[in-house]
Structure 1
């Protein structure tokens, strides 16, 4: 769960955009659209969900799981490395 009001607002906006993408996908399927546009829309939805997951996970790491470090700079570097790893996995 996003911890700050700004993060929560961003996450909810992403969910609403994803909902719109899914509604468009549903309409395309109901209309019998060609496979290529449907596959493109599916890829867009997958990317949007992965982006949302990445953002929520990053917020969680920054707020909850960061181990104590000798300095704030070291803490941020550790978090950034973990976030980069997760993002590379989600692509």
Structure 2
């Protein structure tokens, strides 16, 4: 089941920003930046990834669980996929 449909440019832009943030962590570590600075950068990445996850979950719910016209089997499959991901993510 394709997870996302349509234009993913906003999600791709988010991923690219996260990639830049991860690069900033690498540079900070290489330059032996103070711990507080590194922790701040890591926390920013964590928040950005959480925001990305929320957006993808929302898109999944709209497309594969609540969209009008889905069969019961399609809704069940979409819900099960989401539960699997949430269980993995919450560990």
Q: What TM-score, normalized to structure 1? A: 0.68
CA–CA distance in 2 between the matches of 1:67 and 1:38?
Answer: 42
More helix by share: 1
**What's the RMSD between the two structures over aligned residues?**
2.0
Structure 2 unaligned spans of 5+ = 69-85
DSSP 3-state at the match of 2:4: coil
Q: Which residue of 2 aligns with 1:45?
A: 45
Task: Number of aligned residue pairs: give it.
Answer: 68
* Structure 1: gaps of 5 or more residues: 69-85
- The alpha-carbon deviation at position 2 of structure 1 amounts to 2.8
Aligned equivalents of 1:50 and 1:28: distance in 2? 22
Q: Which runs of 4+ in 1 moved over 3 A?
A: none
